[in-house]
A and B are shown apart, each in its own frame.
Chain A
Amino acid sequence: MAAGVAAWLPFARAAAIGWMPVANCPMPLAPTEKNKRQDELIILNVSGRRFQTWRTTLERYPDTLLGSTEKEFFFNEDTKEYFFDRDPEVFRCILNFYRTGKLHYPRYECISAYDEELAFYGILPEIIGDCCYEEYKDRKRENAERLMDDNDSENNQEGSMPSLNLRQTMWRAFENPHTSTLALVFYYVTGFFIAVSVITNVVETVPCGTVPGNKELPCGERYAVAFFCLDTACVMIFTVEYLMRLFAAPSRYRFMRSVMSIIDVVAIMPYYIGLVMTNNEDVSGAFVTLRVFRVFRIFKFSRHSQGLRILGYTLKSCASELGFLLFSLTMAIIIFATVMFYAEKGSSASKFTSIPASFWYTIVTMTTLGYGDMVPKTIAGKIFGSICSLSGVLVIALPVPVIVSNFSRIYHQNQRADKRRAQKKARLARIRVAKTGSSSAYLHSKRNGLLNAALELTGSSDDEQHISKSTSLIESQHHHLLHCLEKTTNHEFIDEQLFEQNCMDNSMQNYPSTRSPSLSSNNGGSTSCCSRRNKTTTHLPNSNVPATRLRSMQELSTIHIQCSEQPSLTTSRSSLNMKSDDGLRPNCKTSHLTTAIISIPTPPALTPEGESRPPPSSPHPTMNISTTCSNVVKVSAL
């Protein structure tokens, strides 16, 4: 029931008065309106633009957001209005839907934005009115194609394609020659041999020189052996290529049915059939015919040329237009051939011996070729002949623009796809740069956080300006979240270069055998890092130390904690532990620090779990470690 008609429901109920007197049984009870409240205006504030409507208007569609109690979630008590932080332009259409019962799709609106808004308000896009439905569907289809294209190109992209077996690699190499050099080489070699094969076929028939006996021989017979060898080589290459493709195809049955594979087969079959057949008189005619099929090798070029593929696709998609062209031409040919035959019947020595013989004249005339081997001689014949040629132009000219426009559309679509891919690559590169910026922002702020905490501890107020207040509340909350994750998993985030460096270094070191329990976790961490099984960094509970620390630890079988060049070293956790008193942080500005025995910073939060996971840099009483840190290092209670 349409929305606006709901307002006429009282009328429909009143009209039922006509049934009452004729009814034989009592009527059912009418439903009562429990809280019959007066219709009220409600205010919908969408991003500042206020829309007002009657409550009953919205309640016409109770299964949408605005019509149900879901909108109460958006009710703002202070201003007594419903606030939606959404696009006001699209909201206009949505509210009109409630008012008129028809949902319109504005042309200037982006299809995905519109879809999102509809999904938010709980409205199905299928109820878009007929006036706008076609446009909506077209745009949606285009968008879906674009998404599919993007997905395809994503899947085809190199890199991060783990575990491709041989078959899949080969298939990818065949389909996209640009994936590897080998594929490219293969691509060019096959292209070269196709060209060679086609040229051989052509040159074979050229007469080259005479043989004693004054007979002109085509080159094919003169240098029969050479040509045969060339042909064999080409066919070998084609056969090998076909077999390799067959092996690599994900679905062999589908591959064998595809057009390209049929072309391949047709291209190489004549050779094998020729090999098998003897030089029999009867079949030599057929054999000659088979050689014709060798020309199909030229179609193998379509794998190499996108334009050819587009052409083929166009012809396929214009099949109906081509069919119409053929049909109308046939009709016209038959009509005119008949007419010409009867017109020319009278004249003597006429070439128009029969109607089929006139077909040739009609075709040649309609396509405006006009060979002149058959010309009408009677006046009637000439008149009809001229009509024939005039109409020929028309009949052919009509379907051709359709085919041309189809071709142009498909071609441009392809261009657009390529352009989109190129743009997408550039766009993703830029986004990647921005992203790495933000992740390093996290690490950077962690270090800054440590610095801040240390400074506050040491109470040096003049360093307060180093405290970077540049991180917003959201950022700091986000960082806090990442901290919690680090704490939970006992691992830390580091950035990519350090990780790689770490792995490289560790692979070059001899690990000291894990004598001390303090090193064990460290070793465990580092071995695991290099085996690439877990990409998390080793856990250094004490500090956010870049991996250079680990290296130094391996070097000296003592515990060294080496600062990086960055100024701040203290754990960011210390910022969490600000309340707790004894976070010890070596606040070190020098590049080399080895911790004191007792002065290793250990956040108290770790101590409960300290039994199971002794911090690797926990001081070993037997080790002699000295601190060269310039700043004060506080003693922690371990």
Chain B
Amino acid sequence: MRSRGRKESLAESRDLDGSYDQLTDSVEDEFELSTVCHRPEGLEQLQEQTKFSRKELQVLYRGFKNECPTGLVNEENFKQIYSQFFPQGDSGTYAAFLFNAFDTDHDGSISFEDFVAGLSVILRGTIDDRLSWAFNLYDLNKDGCITKEEMLDIMKSIYDMMGKYTYPAMQEEAPREHVENFFQKMDRNKDGVVTIEEFIESCQKDENIMRSMQLFDNVI
């Protein structure tokens, strides 16, 4: 793939031309990255791979490229963009989880293909697709099951986004309680972990969740 080849050559070029300054490597890093430009595959291919129409893809790409002129989003950028929507709380942790969920090939940056692939599942996929995407988000180590610790991390990150100024005031125990609640609902065989089948099954039985999944039909 063109994109992967570019990312590999980036690492090489950094070592080769010696402009990698150890002292100020952050600045140099960005400088290097900005000279690399990633171009997505053609519009037709993306149309085949995702369920978006041509016009939708155009609109999405324009927005994407506007914020990330290089065509690649790294984690820092991603967190910064996401934080602009949640001015009150700290959305960094949740954004990190999202980043991992979007970055399917785990190369440290999200290209437009990754972006659009994720969005396609969430916005145009079936309910089951969406639920498995959500499961993938929760499963931090991608081992096929959600443990209580993983769920606690996710829950804490969601509660962090609320920030300090909430009504009623945020309690320390709130995430943990919420996790307990979740596991009671989802964990059928009470083995302390939630597998994907349990997850989808339990969600399908829950009216609220089903209804809320349909919210995503009209986002774009």
Interface residues of A (CB under 8 A from B): 1-2, 4-15, 17-27, 30, 32-33, 38-39, 54, 99-100
Chain A residues closer than 8 Å to B63, beta-carbon distance = 4, 6-8, 10
**Do the beta carbons of A30 and B218 come within 8 Å of each other?**
yes
In the complex, whether B178 has a CB less than 8 A from a CB of chain A is yes
In whole Å, how far is A223's beta carbon from the nearest beta carbon of chain B? Answer: 79
**Do the beta carbons of B67 and A5 come within 8 Å of each other?**
yes
Q: Which of B64, B97, B213 contacts A20 (CB 8 A)?
A: B213
The residues in B between 2 and 42 inclusive whose CB is less than 8 angstroms from any CB of A are none
Chain B residues closer than 8 Å to A99, beta-carbon distance = 66
Q: Which of A1, A14, A27 contacts B84 (CB 8 A)?
A: A1
**Do the beta carbons of A22 and B182 come within 8 Å of each other?**
yes
Chain A residues closer than 8 Å to B62, beta-carbon distance = 7, 54
The residues in B between 112 and 165 inclusive whose CB is less than 8 angstroms from any CB of A are 115, 118-119, 122-123, 130-131, 133-134, 137-138, 151, 154-155, 158
Q: Which of B67, B151, B211 contacts A26 (CB 8 A)?
A: B211
Interchain Cβ contacts under 8 Å between A and B, 25 examples: A1-B85, A6-B63, A7-B62, A7-B63, A8-B85, A10-B60, A11-B115, A12-B82, A13-B216, A14-B118, A17-B122, A17-B134, A18-B158, A21-B199, A21-B203, A22-B151, A23-B209, A24-B178, A24-B181, A27-B208, A27-B211, A27-B212, A27-B215, A39-B59, A54-B62
CA–CA, A76 to B128, complex, Å?
51
In the complex, the chain B residue whose C-beta lies closest to that of A33 is B218
CA–CA, A39 to B60, complex, Å?
12
**Do the beta carbons of B85 and A5 come within 8 Å of each other?**
yes
In the complex, whether B190 has a CB less than 8 A from a CB of chain A is no
In whole Å, how far is A48's beta carbon from the nearest beta carbon of chain B? Answer: 27
**Do the beta carbons of A17 and B66 come within 8 Å of each other?**
no
In the complex, whether B55 has a CB less than 8 A from a CB of chain A is yes
How many residue pairs link A and B with beta carbons under 8 A? The number is 102
**Do the beta carbons of B119 and A14 come within 8 Å of each other?**
yes
- Beyond the given A8-B63, A15-B82, A21-B203, could you list 14 further A-B residue pairs with CB under 8 A, ordered by the A residue number? A1-B85, A2-B84, A5-B85, A9-B85, A10-B60, A10-B219, A11-B115, A17-B216, A18-B134, A20-B212, A24-B181, A24-B208, A27-B208, A54-B62
CA–CA, A38 to B58, complex, Å?
12
Q: Enumerate the 10 nearest inter-chain pairs by beta-carbon distance, A residue then B residue, closest first.
A: A7-B63, A27-B212, A14-B122, A4-B66, A20-B212, A26-B208, A12-B85, A5-B84, A13-B219, A4-B67
In whole Å, how far is A61's beta carbon from the nearest beta carbon of chain B? Answer: 15
Interface of B is mostly: helix
Interface residues of B (CB under 8 A from A): 55, 59-60, 62-64, 66-67, 81-82, 84-85, 94, 97-98, 115, 118-119, 122-123, 130-131, 133-134, 137-138, 151, 154-155, 158, 178, 181-182, 199, 203, 208-209, 211-213, 215-216, 218-220
CA–CA, A11 to B137, complex, Å?
15
In whole Å, how far is B202's beta carbon from the nearest beta carbon of chain A? Answer: 9
In the complex, which of the residues A22, A23, A33 has the most CB atoms of chain B within 10 Å of its own CB atom? A22
- Given A1-B84, A21-B203, verify A14-B219 contact (CB < 8 Å): yes
In whole Å, how far is A224's beta carbon from the nearest beta carbon of chain B? Answer: 79
In the complex, which of the residues B64, B97, B215 has the most CB atoms of chain A within 10 Å of its own CB atom? B215
Q: Which of B60, B98, B212 contacts A23 (CB 8 A)?
A: B212
CA–CA, A14 to B82, complex, Å?
12
- Given A7-B62, A7-B67, A27-B212, verify A18-B182 contact (CB < 8 Å): no
**Do the beta carbons of B122 and A22 come within 8 Å of each other?**
no
In whole Å, how far is B155's beta carbon from the nearest beta carbon of chain A? Answer: 7
In the complex, which of the residues A9, A17, A23 has the most CB atoms of chain B within 10 Å of its own CB atom? A17
Chain A residues closer than 8 Å to B216, beta-carbon distance = 13-14, 17
**Do the beta carbons of B154 and A18 come within 8 Å of each other?**
yes
In whole Å, how far is A295's beta carbon from the nearest beta carbon of chain B? Answer: 60
In the complex, the chain B residue whose C-beta lies closest to that of A54 is B62
- Given A22-B178, A26-B208, verify A10-B119 contact (CB < 8 Å): yes
Q: Which of A2, A9, A25, A100 contacts B208 (CB 8 A)?
A: A25
- Given A1-B85, A25-B208, verify A17-B67 contact (CB < 8 Å): no
CA–CA, A253 to B66, complex, Å?
62
CA–CA, A99 to B55, complex, Å?
20
**Do the beta carbons of B119 and A11 come within 8 Å of each other?**
yes
In whole Å, how far is A54's beta carbon from the nearest beta carbon of chain B? Answer: 8
In the complex, the chain B residue whose C-beta lies closest to that of A2 is B84
CA–CA, A239 to B220, complex, Å?
86
Chain A residues closer than 8 Å to B151, beta-carbon distance = 22
**Do the beta carbons of A30 and B215 come within 8 Å of each other?**
yes
Chain B residues closer than 8 Å to A7, beta-carbon distance = 59, 62-64, 66-67
In the complex, the chain A residue whose C-beta lies closest to that of B161 is A19
In the complex, the chain B residue whose C-beta lies closest to that of A31 is B218
Chain B residues closer than 8 Å to A18, beta-carbon distance = 94, 97-98, 134, 137-138, 154, 158
In whole Å, how far is A632's beta carbon from the nearest beta carbon of chain B? Answer: 79
**Do the beta carbons of A19 and B66 come within 8 Å of each other?**
no
CA–CA, A377 to B83, complex, Å?
73
Chain A residues closer than 8 Å to B178, beta-carbon distance = 22, 24
Chain B residues closer than 8 Å to A8, beta-carbon distance = 63-64, 67, 81, 85
In whole Å, how far is A571's beta carbon from the nearest beta carbon of chain B? Answer: 68
Chain B residues closer than 8 Å to A25, beta-carbon distance = 208
- Given A20-B213, A38-B55, verify A14-B138 contact (CB < 8 Å): no
In whole Å, how far is B153's beta carbon from the nearest beta carbon of chain A? Answer: 12
CA–CA, A10 to B118, complex, Å?
12
**Do the beta carbons of A22 and B158 come within 8 Å of each other?**
yes
In the complex, which of the residues A11, A17, A24, A32 has the most CB atoms of chain B within 10 Å of its own CB atom? A11
In whole Å, how far is A202's beta carbon from the nearest beta carbon of chain B? Answer: 65
In the complex, the chain A residue whose C-beta lies closest to that of B63 is A7
Chain A residues closer than 8 Å to B115, beta-carbon distance = 11
Chain B residues closer than 8 Å to A10, beta-carbon distance = 60, 63, 119, 123, 219-220
CA–CA, A5 to B83, complex, Å?
10
CA–CA, A290 to B140, complex, Å?
88
**Do the beta carbons of A21 and B134 come within 8 Å of each other?**
yes
Chain B residues closer than 8 Å to A9, beta-carbon distance = 85
In whole Å, how far is A470's beta carbon from the nearest beta carbon of chain B? Answer: 56
CA–CA, A71 to B9, complex, Å?
49
In whole Å, how far is A155's beta carbon from the nearest beta carbon of chain B? Answer: 48
